Structure formats: C-alpha cells, structure tokens
Chain A
C-alpha cells in the first residue's frame, strides 16, 4: 500500500492577523506558519491506515515558507516513512491551483494507491487542492471524510453530510481523499523525537515547475467593519420596556395601542 499525504502550512490563527499594505491579502512576513489542522488529520488517518494494513506513508508539500522541513519532520515522528518537499519560487500563500498541479506532477511517478489531504485549509477556505489533484491524476475524489479503511484494492470511506447524516462509499483505488477528521485525534509527536529525526532524516527535494495561474484573485481583504452600533438602555424594566415599545412603533414594526 502506497499512501501519500499532501500537506501545506498556513498562518497560525492564534496570532494577530495583519493585512498587507495593498489590502489584498495577509501580511505573510508578520505571521508564523503552522501545519494546516486538516492536514494533521490527513497524516493521522494515513498512519492509522498504514498501521491497519501495512504499507508506507509519504508526506509531500510545496515549501512556500522555507520552513516546511519542520512540518515534514513532525510527520516522520508521527509514523510517516518518507518526506518530500517541492521547492522553487513559491511564496507564502501560493494559490491552490498551483499547489495542486505541483503535487500531482510530483506524485504521479510514485504511483500512489491512495492520496490523503486535508479537506480544506483556513488560509483560503478553497477546499480545491484535493479535487484538483484527483482531476490531474484522473482518479476519483471523496471529500469531508471522517474515516478511511483500505482493503483489497478498494477504500471504504465515511463521508459526513450536514444534519448528522453519514454515508459510506466504496471506491476503487487509486483515489484522493479530502479528510475532515481522522477517526482518532491526531497523535502528539514528542519534540524530543522530532529533534532526533531532524538530525538524521533525509527529505527528498523536487524542483517544481511553473504552475497554472490561480482561478481567482482577491480584490480586497479587510477585517470586519462595524455596520452600526449598539445602544445600551438603562433603567427599570418598565422604563426599558417602554423605550423598546416606542422604538418598535417608530420603526413601524408594531402599532402602539
């Protein structure tokens, strides 16, 4: 079983997010980057699949931060077998079209049985990397998956619908899965282990070619602007109730008797 996990790093949402001077995106230089949470689940689900059925897990990503090694070392500490990074002139926040193409090109030759990736990432909320990898490779895609079981050339995946409804798909391999959540919480990789691995592990490097242009561009990025204001009324319940009734009448919502 050849399992491949596609990952990417996104801004740390516990930091204060700054908008760039042009007002078209985040100020990437002011941000710290962490692994996309959904990709953490994809790694966990991949390692669980490997533990259940055997095989190898390869973790791959486009190095948009210059710091992808840390994320790859963490994945190795969690049980991945090899790590690949795609290098080139790919700045932070590189669009999903470009990343999907680069990853599809890099993994085509690996003949993966199953590719797992986070169903989406908080930086662009695009959710397109998984489907686009599947399209480039010409294989099926199922997203919003909360559990994967692999056996005999097929994968049984659980997909989560709205309203608490679940569906079970049986899909012929190879395929791409967009992971919503692993069926166990992502395991903790001790920093001791990550640091050991960082000293010895080899990360394969692939030089990425030119990617396609993004499907869309952000015209303006901004923090929520307050559209109105709230007025706090004080006084006895009777006084406040009277004010509310008067206001509702003024707005024409009720008639005062």
Chain B
C-alpha cells in the first residue's frame, strides 16, 4: 500500500451528503483535494509489515510533526524517537531486524503529545513479538531475562523456593497465605525485585514494618507468587506473560482477600489493565495510594524528622500510564523535615529511568546506542535541582539510580524508596 492512504483513521473520515461551507455548496462526492498526498517514491513493504500487525496499525498515522522527538527520553540521550522510527521504516529500514526495535522503554511520553495517537506501547510489543518468535535479533541479555523468568518465575534467575526468604530479615511477622488458612483484608503482591534484589529487600522489609505498625491484616503468596510478566510482554514475550498470568491468577483465586496491594507500578499496570483481559477480577492498589488512605493514622507515627531536600521521580507506569501523581507526593510531604523539590521533568512529563518495556534487561545494549544511560541523565537532573535524596516508588529504580549516581560522580545523592523513608521516620 502506498504511503498516505492509511494516514487518517478511517473512522475519522465522514462524508456528508449535503454540505455548505462559507456559503458555498460543496455537496457531492469528495474530490482529490480532500485526499492525502500519495507518495510512490519508496518501497513501503517494511512499513506495511509493521502496520499489518494487530497493534502496529498506528505507525502509519504519523505525519512527522516531531512532538514526540522533543519528549522521547531516548532521543534526549541518543538518536531515536517514534517520528524517526516512522520515517526510517517508511524509507525501507526493516524495524524487525533493527537495533531501534529494542530501545523504546514504552514510557508513553510520545503518546501523551502525539496528535495522531501513534501508539508505541502497542507498536513496539507487536513488532518485538514477531522478532522474538523468529528468534534472530533478540539481544542476548534480554533473552536471558526471558529464559530466567520462564525457568524460575523471576527475571533475576533466583530459585522460586527462596521467594519469601527476605521475610527472615524483617523483624516483624509476615504471613504466608498458604500457612495462614484464612481470608485477609490485603493480599500483598511483593514482586520479584523486592523479593530477591538486596535493595528491593530493603523496601519490602520497610513495607512489612509499616503494614504491621498500621495494623493492616495482610498476607503474601510466598513461593506461590510469580513475576507479573508485564515488562516481558512489552519486550515481546507475550506467551511468557500469558503463562505467568495464568499461574498468578490461579494462585490469587485460591485465597480470599478484599483488595490487593502491589509494591511496583509495573505489577499495578499488569493487574489493573492486563490481567482482567485474562479473567482476573480483583481490586488492586499501588502501595502509595493504599498508604495515603491510612495517612491520618500514619502521620502521628512519623516521628523522626528527615531534614533533607527530597525530589521525586514519577514512575512511568504509575504516572503517565495510570494517572497517579499525587499519592507519592502526599506521603513525602507527610514526613517531617522533608523539603520536596520538583525536577523540571516531573509528573506528566516525568523522565523515564530506562527500565520499562524490557529496558531493565537491556542495559549493555542500550548503553551502546546512547551517550549515557537514561538513569544517568535522570540522576544528573536530580543533582542539578540540589536534591539530597532521589525518592522513588518503583522496585526497578533503586538499583538503577544508585548505580547511575555512582557512575556519574553523584555519590552523595541518596536513592530511597518512599517506603524506606517512611520506615526510617517511623522507627525514629
């Protein structure tokens, strides 16, 4: 198909039988002046291959305005944006075998500004899925994360039987649903990084102590919990996502709970928007929103002032994808002594840490195509605003930003999950 014929969503075109514009009757069939310019200059087979995929259609709608280029976090440290992807593909570059395919973090800032609703959150997973099925161009580090997730139920490659080992470090009881044998108010889905990563463990322990202090009736799944799989889905392994979703939904449905609380925004996105398509039916909250519900009770417990300048990094999958900007900030403001400063790129325009859409497992690959890591750009921004603490609420981010703070010489910048800051203030 020639470029242009599919540039306007078909449903957006209406043909009026009788139409008078500025006193002139232009009734009758629309003539050529209403048609898109048709370009026959290029071989557009490669563009057609993308737009023929379910989910890939909207790449054809791009009209090259480049609004996305201005906000794309990858373009800020490299040469990549949806508009550039469209143009290259239009000119014959094979996206299925291009390194560009693996650079998008699905942060959604492009879609936010796109007048044509070119949706990279659908395009990229659709094309990646084909690349994964063909198995030719998948970066090895990403493939390893897929393989570890398939074998062990988590992308870190840790044994499934050790998933609840972190609870030994907490110092307060954490009930496993299987042992508890009764319904709970809150089923806490801990997540892979809080369960296994040492810095993730710190946030999980902090959450357990906070929940205990608030008297929350909660339980975790322990070894019955598997990775949510959403980032693997966005990275192109849809089958792996579906397998994990089936296993998790089966585990969830074994127990009675009123609501689920999750530690991570990616899990929040998975359970809120994707699992229901596979039959899941439960209410899920990110921990920041859940704790805001308990703010009246929580506030008096926050005794120790934290006299630091704190800035907050909006996780893409909590903010842009799911519209939650206020709960994390309410929690930070509740901590005595905290001076909250906003970075330039915040809220709807928050900068991506680089970990979404599979980026968490493409660090070396992305590094080769960018002048600096996205996480490095972000910690520099935090440092530019004079922050002592970069506060986060996504389990991908603590290790990413701590590494970036070290590699950019900003060692003095502390990276803390909001859970850790609350816990510190509570413990006095």
Interface residues, chain A, with chain B CB atoms under 8 Å away: 14-16, 34, 187-188, 190-196
Contacts and interface: CB of A to CB of B under 8 A. Distances in A.
A14 B163 CA distance: 12
A190 B135 contact: yes
Contact of B243 (A187, A191, A196): A191
Nearest to B132: A190
Given A191-B150, A191-B239, A192-B238, A15 B129 contact: no
Interface in B222-277: 237-240, 242-243
Per CB-CB distance, the 7 closest pairs between chain A and chain B, nearest first, are: A192-B239, A191-B239, A191-B240, A14-B159, A195-B239, A190-B132, A188-B147
B46 interface: no
A192 B133 CA distance: 7
A190 B161 contact: no
Residue from A191, A193, A195, A196 with most neighbouring chain B CB atoms (10 Å): A191
B160 A14 contact: yes
B143 interface: yes
Contact of A195 (B132, B159, B242): B242
Nearest to B143: A188
B152 interface: yes
A193 B152 contact: no
Give chain B's interface residue range (CB within 8 Å of chain A): 10 to 19
B312 interface: no
Contacts of B242: 191, 195
Given A16-B161, A190-B239, 12 more contacts: A14-B160, A15-B159, A15-B160, A187-B135, A188-B143, A188-B146, A188-B150, A190-B146, A191-B243, A193-B239, A195-B239, A196-B133
B396 to A, nearest CB: 22
A192 B128 CA distance: 12
A72 B152 CA distance: 19
Given A14-B160, A190-B132, A190-B135, A195 B243 contact: yes
A193 B243 contact: no
Interface of B: 129, 132-133, 135, 143, 146-147, 150-152, 159-161, 237-240, 242-243
A16 B151 CA distance: 15
A195 B246 CA distance: 13
Nearest to B232: A191
Contacts of A192: 129, 132-133, 237-240
Contact of B237 (A34, A191, A196): A191
Contacts of B237: 190-192
A193 B132 CA distance: 9
Given A190-B132, A190-B146, A192-B132, A14 B161 contact: yes
Contact of A194 (B147, B160, B161, B239): B239
13 contacts: A14-B161, A15-B159, A16-B161, A188-B147, A190-B146, A190-B237, A192-B132, A192-B239, A194-B239, A195-B242, A195-B243, A196-B133, A196-B239
A15 B223 CA distance: 10
A193 B133 contact: yes
Contacts of B146: 188, 190-191
